[in-house]
Amino acid sequence: MNLIIDIGNSRIKIALFEKDMLSEIFLETDKTVLKKIKKLFKLHLISSSIISTVKDVSNEITNYLQENSIFILVNHKFSFPFKNLYKTPKTVGVDRLVLSSAAVMLFPKTNVLIIDAGTCITYDFVSKDSEYFGGAISPGLKIRYKSLNDYTSKLPLLDVKQPKSFIGNTTEESIHSGVVNGTLQEIDGVINQYKNKFSHLTIVLTGGDAKFLSKQLKSSIFANQNFLLEGLNKLLIFNDNK
């Protein structure tokens, strides 16, 4: 069994895979993650583990995984299944590289645009020739709501909510309209830019806000909130078989 750990900006996801099959997913915090990992090792026969992280991970966690499994910490020296054409390859987020790897392995010989709607919204493009070009980074939904509250004196901090209309008739509805509709228009606009340049484009939407956004987008997309976890598992198998 494979133990998959994705440490993001806002949350930590832990998943168990039996070969290619996703078995369980757990959401943890910095304080609970090690305790959960130890518990899973007691309950399951885990042979391999992998971590993708956008921030520093404690030595206590990595040491435990190294002692109890075949362990991989994904970094920029890692062997990815694509050619990286990013001009500054050491600066691109590891999470973006993992998502692009998932696209190459799950959609071979296909132009793929991966949109990760989390703390930030990232756009990443890999070509049918397995080349990673890069993409874009913009604020996620919660950052947009928070910025309106942080940088003004009177606008309230609101939770994410679908606006009743694109014409807001209260301050709260105006904020929802601006944030949610603005985000949707941005995503649809970026998708159209890529469609105009690349034919036979597959669009993958993932991340914490994928479910909320997917029902409202005009473009035809493949929505999968666990795309990064599946990509990490694929990378683990890819490197185990080398």
| 119 annotated to bind ligand | yes
Is 144 assigned a ligand-binding role in the annotation?
Answer: no
Question: Collapsing DSSP states into helix, strand and coil, what is residue 118?
Answer: coil
Q: Degrees (nearest 5) of the Cα angle 11, 118, 57?
A: 35
168 assigned binding-site residue: no
**DSSP symbols for 19-51:** TTEEEEEEEE-TTTHHHHHHHHHHHS---EEEE
- Is 127 annotated in a binding site? The answer is no
Q: Are strands 70-73 and 201-206 parallel, antiparallel or unpaired?
A: unpaired
* Residue 129 assigned as binding residue: no
Tell whether residue 25 is among the known ligand binding residues. no
Q: How many CB atoms lie within 10 A of CB 27?
A: 11
**Active-site amino acid positions:** 95
Residue-wise burial string across 30-69, b where 16 or more C-beta atoms lie within 10 A, e elsewhere: eeebeebbeebbeeeebebbbbbbbeebeeebeebbeeeb
> Is residue 152 a known part of a binding site?
no
- Phi, psi dihedral angles at 176 (to 5 degrees): -60, -45
The answer to whether 94 is annotated as binding is: yes
Q: What letter would DSSP give residue 77?
A: T
Q: Is 64 annotated as a binding residue?
A: no
Residue with token string 């340049």: 197
Residue 207 assigned to a binding site: no
Q: Is 159 annotated for ligand binding?
A: no
As annotated, the binding site for ATP includes 6-13, 119
As annotated, the binding site for K(+) includes 116
As annotated, the binding site includes 6-13, 86, 93-96, 116, 119, 171
